[in-house]
Amino acid sequence: MDLEIFWGLLKVLFFLGILAPLIYLSTRWYGTRFHTSSSMQLKESLSIGSHRALYVVEWEGERLLLGVTAHQIHLLDRKPISLTPDEEGGN
């Protein structure tokens, strides 16, 4: 009886040892294959309290400052994206 339990446990571990990497690799493949590129990028975020945050988002050539709470999103500022000397490669 003890030998049967041992072999059963060994079979389960073998099955999981094969199944777990296959699931991991398939989810990684699926995520990269079906990831759509977006023109929206989150540049910065700052938590300013419980369920409150500020976000800087770049979208369609503009930089947006958003104030976000648990119930609302406010557009606080909007500016066109302009490269600073550091972003252009200057000193």
- Per-residue pLDDT of 32-78, as tens digits, reads 777 666 778 899 999 999 999 999 999 888 999 999 999 999 999 99
Residue with tokens 């339990």: 5
Half-sphere exposure of 26 (CA within 13 A, CB side): 6
Does 89 score more than 60 pLDDT? no
How many CA within 13 A on the CB side of residue 74?
9
Q: What's the pTM?
A: 0.52
Rounded mean pLDDT, 79-84? 79
DSSP E strand boundaries for the chain: 40-49, 52-59, 62-68, 73-80
